[in-house]
Amino acid sequence: MAIHLILGGARSGKSAYAEKLVEQFAAVQGAPVCYIATAQVQDVEMQQRIAHHQASRPAGWQTYEVQTDLAGALFQQSQEGVVIIDCLTLWLMSCFSQYPTINQAAIDEFMAALSVFKGELYMVSNEISMGVVPMGAISRDYVDALGRMHQNIAAMADRVTLMVAGIPMKVKG
């Protein structure tokens, strides 16, 4: 198993970088690719973003759209292939939107699925902790939960990359 966490800001190139790495790995290993997408259409702009991401994926990749059961989606995937999750930020936001506070159970279930996954896994997420502390309590809870989750995943990960202006910066591995 190999875990690669790819972090970055909005439009930093993290998805394109992850897709490039996955495409290269799949070509060399002859492995099937599963793309787990977590974005939900909520407005025209988000619909355009999703369409852009869909158009950039190779035709042979199998896509699963997940709102909150990311652990279940990961458990169902082949242990032989390669999985890309894009993105953890939107998944956690979906978990938050269904509860008045953090859904720690969903995070714990995902971390448990992650710990037993045997395939090659690439995860994309926004690094949102570099700004000011949010003013609202729910926003602070979200930023804190995402930051803790990133730290836990990074501790398990073989590689961590921070994308800045389309340039991958090696953080770990």
Active centre residues (catalytic):
53
Handedness of CA 170, 29, 2, 61 (dihedral sign): positive
Enumerate residues 6+ apart whose C-beta is below 8 A from 165.
12, 13
Q: Angle at CA 140, nearest 5°, toward 139 and 145? A: 100
Counting every residue written for the chain, the total comes to 173
65 SS3 class: strand
Work out the end-to-end distance of the chain between its first and last CA atoms, rounded to an integer number of angstroms.
14
